[in-house]
């Protein structure tokens, strides 16, 4: 045998993000890329993983490159997969340093571990503009207020927690709604200030289990409503999740807990 060629795979971790007591969080797969891969291969890996988001992390100078893929498309921002990536770098790989910096399609994002053990990530704050509730064409049933949250998302306010949990969702109308992410929110929730549900049919995700990026809009909405810069959010999905946020002028620090479910290797 003249030579032996060995190709190592890319390490991966299945991480549940925004876990807590009686809530299971949102699974994200974090893939540590040893070498660049074509976009079509990244998309195929995300499709095979089958979770709402697969994050691809690669060393880039003193920081890290971070990209997010649903099973069908690449997205501009994902909160729970960013939290999962931060968990992998700080817990599984144990990189040094108090701050982790990610180069992403949404700019430079930072993350850190707090003294209480929570992980915090800085996400861009959304600006809210009121729009006519008829823009949803009844996709969520009766809503009280509707806001455009940034360029791609919608924030729909419903009456109370029971209404939120009992939403009758029309998936066809929701797919046609003018937003990639449709966030339903109400004031008041068990052990939380507000509750949300999040739908993203345009991104290949009928309902997201827990959505950190939703707090980019929910935190400013809560601050305008109450004057409070901090908020505790419960996501009322089947898996459930707990998130904590603090509002700043240009960003929202979104925090929560994460845990590794399994690890392995992807051979692409």
Split at pLDDT 50, 70, 90, the class of 169 is confident
Split at pLDDT 50, 70, 90, the class of 42 is very high
User: Residue 9 pLDDT more than 60?
Assistant: yes
CATH topology classification for 10-122+256-266: Diaminopimelate Epimerase; Chain A, domain 1 (3.10.310)
For the stretch 143-158, pLDDT in tens is: 999 999 988 899 999 9
User: Residue 29 pLDDT more than 80?
Assistant: yes
In degrees rounded to 5, what are phi and psi of residue 217? -100, -40
Shortest CA distance to 242 belongs to which of 52, 16, 50, 77? Answer: 16
User: Residue 7 pLDDT more than 60?
Assistant: no
Shortest CA distance to 159 belongs to which of 144, 169, 141, 138? Answer: 144
Tell me the mean pLDDT in the region 87-113. 95
The reported pLDDT for the residue numbered 18 is 98
User: Residue 31 pLDDT more than 80?
Assistant: yes
pLDDT greater at residue 97 or residue 265: 265
Helix (H, G, I), strand (E, B) or coil at 240: coil
Average pLDDT of the chain is 93
The reported pLDDT for the residue numbered 4 is 36
The reported pLDDT for the residue numbered 3 is 41
Tell me the mean pLDDT in the region 124-130. 96
Split at pLDDT 50, 70, 90, the class of 268 is low
Tell me the mean pLDDT in the region 50-62. 94
In degrees rounded to 5, what are phi and psi of residue 146? -140, 135
CATH no. of 128-254: 3.10.310.10
User: Residue 249 pLDDT more than 60?
Assistant: yes
Tell me the mean pLDDT in the region 30-44. 95
For the stretch 188-246, pLDDT in tens is: 999 999 999 999 988 888 899 999 999 999 999 999 999 999 999 999 999 999 999 99
CA distance linking residue 98 with residue 50, whole number of Å = 32
State the span(s) of the chain assigned CATH 3.10.310.10: 10-122+256-266, 128-254
Shortest CA distance to 221 belongs to which of 163, 165, 153, 166? Answer: 153
CA distance linking residue 253 with residue 216, whole number of Å = 9
User: Residue 81 pLDDT more than 60?
Assistant: yes
Catalytic annotation, residues? 53
């Amino acid at each position: 045998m003249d030579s032996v060629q060995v190709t190592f795979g890319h390490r991966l971790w299945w991480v549940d993000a925004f876990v807590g007591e009686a809530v299971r969080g949102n699974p994200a797969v974090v893939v540590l890329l040893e070498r660049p891969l074509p976009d079509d291969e990244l998309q195929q890996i995300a499709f095979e993983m089958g979770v709402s988001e697969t994050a691809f992390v690669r060393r880039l100078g003193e920081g890290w490159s971070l990209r997010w893929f649903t099973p069908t498309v690449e997205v501009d921002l994902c909160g729970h997969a960013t939290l999962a990536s931060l968990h992998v770098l700080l817990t599984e790989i144990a990189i040094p340093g108090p701050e982790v910096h990610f180069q992403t399609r949404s700019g430079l994002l930072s993350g850190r571990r707090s003294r209480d053990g929570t992980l915090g990530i800085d996400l861009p704050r959304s600006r809210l503009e009121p729009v006519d509730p008829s823009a949803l064409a009844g996709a969520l049933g009766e809503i009280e207020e509707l806001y455009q949250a940034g360029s791609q998302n919608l924030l729909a306010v419903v009456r109370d927690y029971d209404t939120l949990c009992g939403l009758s969702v029309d998936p066809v109308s929701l797919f046609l709604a003018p937003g990639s992410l449709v966030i339903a929110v109400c004031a008041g929730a068990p052990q939380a200030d507000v509750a949300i549900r999040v739908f993203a049919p345009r991104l290949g995700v009928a309902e997201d289990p827990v959505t950190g990026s939703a707090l980019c809009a929910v935190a400013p909405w809560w601050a305008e409503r109450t004057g409070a810069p901090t908020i505790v959010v419960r996501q009322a999905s089947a898996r459930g999740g707990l998130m904590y946020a603090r509002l700043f002028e240009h960003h929202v620090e979104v925090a929560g807990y994460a845990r590794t479910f399994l690890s392995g290797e992807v051979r692409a």
